[in-house]
Structure 1
């Protein structure tokens, strides 16, 4: 999801009533979030004159009387916006600027008890329970994982926010040494989010915030590694013949369906029901952006469906793939079952990759990225790829297309260069 963030002067009007950080005759400083050309604004509580504002960089000039306070305020709001976006991406859900603003400005986002615990493990548990109460398993799982890492840090002994030291925060960061930047960023952002909430609740002061003790820049944009699989290796995977009715056989069918169903997300594929299959096509609502999709299926995807109709194990709840059953009757059971199925699928996918000599990590994401990259390499217009993937912007699609293998790039360059 691509949301542009920019701080700017609201020059359409001037401040008429003086307040602590607002000066009569100046313009309000606001932060604009733009998605699909639709803006949403957040107030900073500060104002500035045109002379003291750097319009190009969206930041106050050093000459601003409250430069330090305003700069910190802009950075803080921007960090919180980026965290909400990252949190939504991690939970696999679509988020809008309207929801982000509500989350950051309304204390009623999740019904939390008035008497909040002043110890960190209990506090994280409270936040986790709040998301469970509103049936948001994705967010609840994120804070659950955070709680586990804090418990590991403290050896299951809870500790007051106020008693945390520099050494504690450094030890927390050291738990993630050797992990990918993306994984490290997710854990540290969530940890910082807990401290932001505790500060907002008055349990601790901002001087205790852990970010200043981390070596890793928590809010920097992390570029993911290439995930696509080369076309010739994908052809080899398609030619594999796993033993019928085994788990890896089912995973092989899933891999084919994802690829030929326009790079369908694993979560959406598992939630497909037979009622969504109509006239050689599929009609469903994507979980991430809530948009409805209705398209004709590739003959290879249809062939997979024909095999699934005769598969010995069937879902008693009408799902196409025999993963979800009637017993998975609420969002938490469904979420847990899909998470378990994804782990199995990725394990089988890696086994298939090793069987054909693909030495890189191979997961469900590689199939979706491969679908996009293979279309791009074949010269398909990026607008069609964007639509097929369900992306809101071409910028999102280009992230997938960055996965073009260097061999393809080298071949194109070598063929284009003039040789004497």
Structure 2
């Protein structure tokens, strides 16, 4: 009986929370599964995908075209292997396939220590499967760990070592939230090492580790602070930074990357159309009177090209840059923007360390109160899919409401005696 092949999806997510795409090999009614080296989120997988349409990976994935092309090539190669080995069973075909499409680190555990494993995994997996921002964030953690311990055999990994690393992070200094993120990144690579048999599950150094806990300080502006910031007189660069902050606020608390990329063509029929930074979800927002006034104030008198950016923070050739260069460009622009936002806030007496992201938290808190604490509505406004995410953004402590409640308790009570009997 000739072998048959099908592209399918793993039933359980991997350490990254993604589902691996498998090649199912069936011969003599015996199936075997081999990894294709591709992993995607469940929502990016098309269960109706087929060779004729080359559509296993949905278009919502930024690399859908390349991944689908790779899967077509994998199917063709597998069929060629079966043709050249007509008597091979499913297990033998799987072995032959893996020899040609090895997606695991090539070195053995005796040649590869934990630091080298992380770096190799970063290049072979993360660079290919994740956005540059994710790759850069994980690379920063690996480099930080490597600066602390340039070489680390797998057998020296221990809970005590992880505690030493956390102490090192504390001395840098890194706050509890940053330390937690660093340790969670290490845990991701430890899980990969366990899966690839470089480390046994019993020797997982973070299995029972107590992660640092801290709720980061959430910064947002009160109505009075926002009004003061809107009206203070500022020099040109700080004024443009303020307008950017306000666009983030009036554009449903949108993240700064999406706002910086807005072009004049994105304004159509009283709405603004854009793609959200997280999830690559398309969104349109009806222009409020305030947003319309802000955008109109940015329009040059001589007119604009539909392809021109509304805000002046990105160079005209931004679209032609690689994804990694675009990420660096956004980072530099955001740093410059946040510096000018802080300078402007200082001039109206706001001592809080505000940034573009605090506009998102301000919008979340204001909308929470305007909608009577309905987190579902707040989450929809912000583009969240989970209530728990929205709860992070909302400051549920309303001092005005607390003052009003206290006043109802106190105002009918008589004044106490202020002197001893």
Is 1:343 matched with 2:309?
no
Q: 2:317 is matched with which residue?
A: 326
Structure 2's unaligned 5+ residue stretches are: 1-8, 19-39, 48-97, 414-421
Q: Identify if the C-alpha distance between structure 1 residues 317 and 331 changes in structure 2 by more than 3 Å, giving closer, same or farther.
A: farther
Q: Identify if the C-alpha distance between structure 1 residues 396 and 170 changes in structure 2 by more than 3 Å, giving closer, same or farther.
A: closer
- The separation in 1 between residues aligned to 2:207 and 2:389, in whole angstroms, is 31
Instruction: Give the conservation status (yes or no) of the 8 Å contact 1:135–1:332.
Output: no
Q: Identify if the C-alpha distance between structure 1 residues 149 and 316 changes in structure 2 by more than 3 Å, giving closer, same or farther.
A: farther
- The separation in 2 between residues aligned to 1:397 and 1:112, in whole angstroms, is 38
Q: 2:294 is matched with which residue?
A: 304
- The separation in 1 between residues aligned to 2:301 and 2:241, in whole angstroms, is 13
Q: 1:64 is matched with which residue?
A: none
Query: SS in structure 2 opposite 1:197?
Result: helix
Instruction: Give the conservation status (yes or no) of the 8 Å contact 2:371–2:377.
Output: no
Q: Identify if the C-alpha distance between structure 1 residues 311 and 149 changes in structure 2 by more than 3 Å, giving closer, same or farther.
A: farther
| Higher mean C-alpha deviation, range 279-288 or range 229-238 | 279-288
1:300 offset after TM fit, Å? Answer: 2.2
Instruction: Give the conservation status (yes or no) of the 8 Å contact 2:265–2:307.
Output: no
Give the length in aligned residue pairs.
320
1:288 offset after TM fit, Å? Answer: 1.6
Q: TM-score, length-normalised on structure 2?
A: 0.65
Q: 1:125 is matched with which residue?
A: 119
Instruction: Give the conservation status (yes or no) of the 8 Å contact 2:379–2:386.
Output: yes
Q: 1:388 is matched with which residue?
A: 381
Q: Identify if the C-alpha distance between structure 1 residues 202 and 263 changes in structure 2 by more than 3 Å, giving closer, same or farther.
A: same
- The separation in 2 between residues aligned to 1:267 and 1:208, in whole angstroms, is 41
| Higher mean C-alpha deviation, range 112-121 or range 269-278 | 112-121
Q: 1:137 is matched with which residue?
A: 132
Instruction: Give the conservation status (yes or no) of the 8 Å contact 1:257–1:300.
Output: no
Is 1:243 matched with 2:235?
yes
- The separation in 1 between residues aligned to 2:321 and 2:340, in whole angstroms, is 27
Query: SS in structure 2 opposite 1:283?
Result: strand
1:316 offset after TM fit, Å? Answer: 11
- Alignment partner of 1:364 out of 343, 356, 360: 356
Q: 1:194 is matched with which residue?
A: 189
Instruction: Give the conservation status (yes or no) of the 8 Å contact 2:249–2:363.
Output: yes
Instruction: Give the conservation status (yes or no) of the 8 Å contact 1:228–1:404.
Output: no
- The separation in 1 between residues aligned to 2:208 and 2:385, in whole angstroms, is 37
Is 1:287 matched with 2:277?
yes
Pick the structure with greater CA Rg. 2
- The separation in 2 between residues aligned to 1:185 and 1:166, in whole angstroms, is 15
- Alignment partner of 1:148 out of 143, 149, 153: 143
- Alignment partner of 1:203 out of 198, 202, 205: 198
1:304 offset after TM fit, Å? Answer: 2.5
Is 1:234 matched with 2:229?
no
- The separation in 1 between residues aligned to 2:148 and 2:285, in whole angstroms, is 49
Q: 2:390 is matched with which residue?
A: 397
- The separation in 2 between residues aligned to 1:414 and 1:166, in whole angstroms, is 49
- The separation in 1 between residues aligned to 2:168 and 2:284, in whole angstroms, is 45
1:275 offset after TM fit, Å? Answer: 1.9
Q: Deviations over 1:214-262 (max 9, x none)?
A: 5x426x7x64433222221111111222212x2x332111111111122
Q: How does 1:208-227 map to 2 (within 5 A)?
A: 208-211=203-206, 214=209, 216-217=210-211, 223-227=215-219
- The separation in 1 between residues aligned to 2:308 and 2:271, in whole angstroms, is 17
Instruction: Give the conservation status (yes or no) of the 8 Å contact 2:267–2:273.
Output: yes
Q: Identify if the C-alpha distance between structure 1 residues 232 and 405 changes in structure 2 by more than 3 Å, giving closer, same or farther.
A: farther
- The separation in 2 between residues aligned to 1:143 and 1:125, in whole angstroms, is 10
- The separation in 1 between residues aligned to 2:323 and 2:104, in whole angstroms, is 21
Structure 1's unaligned 5+ residue stretches are: 1-39, 44-76, 86-94, 103-107
- The separation in 2 between residues aligned to 1:185 and 1:396, in whole angstroms, is 17
1:192 offset after TM fit, Å? Answer: 1.5
Q: Identify if the C-alpha distance between structure 1 residues 204 and 316 changes in structure 2 by more than 3 Å, giving closer, same or farther.
A: farther
Q: Deviations over 1:61-83 (max 9, x none)?
A: xxxxxxxxxxxxxxxx9xx77x6
1:205 offset after TM fit, Å? Answer: 2.5
What's the RMSD between the two structures over aligned residues? Answer: 3.6
1:369 offset after TM fit, Å? Answer: 1.1
Q: TM-score, length-normalised on structure 1?
A: 0.65
